[in-house]
A = this chain, B = another copy of it.
Amino acid sequence: MSVERLFANFDKYLPLDDIEKADVSKRVIVRNIRRRQFILQEDEECKHYTFVAEGCFKVYHVDKKGVEHNLQFAAENDWIMIIDSFYNKRRSNVHIEAIEPSLIYQLSRPDLIYLFRTYPKFDRNFRVIVETRLAELEQRLLQVISSTAEERYLAFLDQYPALSLRLPNTQIASYLGITPEFLSKIRKEMVGK
């Protein structure tokens, strides 16, 4: 059973001992996901925490006009969780879709709660995982609210240099909250600089 990538992720916080590893291995769901495959759709409830071992996903909302708005990209070693839907069993308002062929590990709500109850270490580790995501979101909200499109694009290139090579500009534009056409114009402007 090869969930080593997942264990390695916990090593950054409180490493798991053999008993915990065995228990996690028994519960975790390993899945290969094709490009364009969904692991969550907008009318479903989010039943898993997802750890991305390989590949890349986008989390996005579709507004009433049918336009996609990317909220998050998740690549190797990132976690994806839609907190409200997951804990409150509400239908999600986002899709999660693979941008590349991917390998993921998932934990269901009952299994995660079991782990929280059985080993306090998981409260600690997931506290830190959630804090990390929270810090990202604080940063992102601040940028969306107080920067121009060009500043946001530069910040994105700076913050996610690897992703900016892997992703088509269409997807980046959607993340920045602008149209692909306008991103193209920004890029044209920048060449002169």
Q: Which residues of B contact A141 (CB under 8 A)?
A: 71, 137, 140-141, 144
A8 at the interface (CB under 8 A from B): no
In the complex, how many residues of chain A place their beta carbon closer than 8 angstroms to a beta carbon of chain B?
33
Number of copies: 2
Distance between Cα atoms of A93 and B134 in the complex (Å)? 15
Q: Quick check: is A35 within 8 A (CB to CB) of the other chain?
A: no
Q: Are A84 and B123 closer than 8 Å at their CB atoms? A: no
Q: Does A61 make an interface contact (CB < 8 A)?
A: yes
User: Which residue of the partner chain B has the closest CB to A120?
Assistant: B120
Asked if B135 and A137 sit within 8 Å, CB to CB, the answer is: no
1/0 contact trace for A97-120 toward B, CB 8 Å? 000000000000000000010001
Q: Does A177 contact B (CB under 8 A)?
A: yes
**A121-164 toward B: CB 8 Å interface, digit per residue (1/0)?**
00110110011011101111110111100000000000000000
Please tell me if A83 contacts chain B, counting CB pairs below 8 Å: yes
Known: A61-B146, A141-B71, A142-B93. A123 touches B127 (CB 8 A): yes
Q: In the assembled complex, how far is the CB of residue A14 from the closest CB belonging to chain B, in whole angstroms?
A: 10
With both beta carbons as reference points, the residue of chain B lying nearest to A176 in the complex is identified as B145
A134–B135 CB distance below 8 A: no
**Which one of B63, B94, B126, B142 contacts A61 once the chains associate, using CB atoms below 8 Å?**
B142
Chain B contacts of A24 at CB under 8 A?
none
Interface residue A69 (Cβ < 8 Å from any Cβ of B): yes
Instruction: Tell me the smallest distance from the CB of A111 to a CB of chain B, in Å.
Output: 16
Candidates B71, B124, B135; contact of A83 at CB < 8 Å: B135
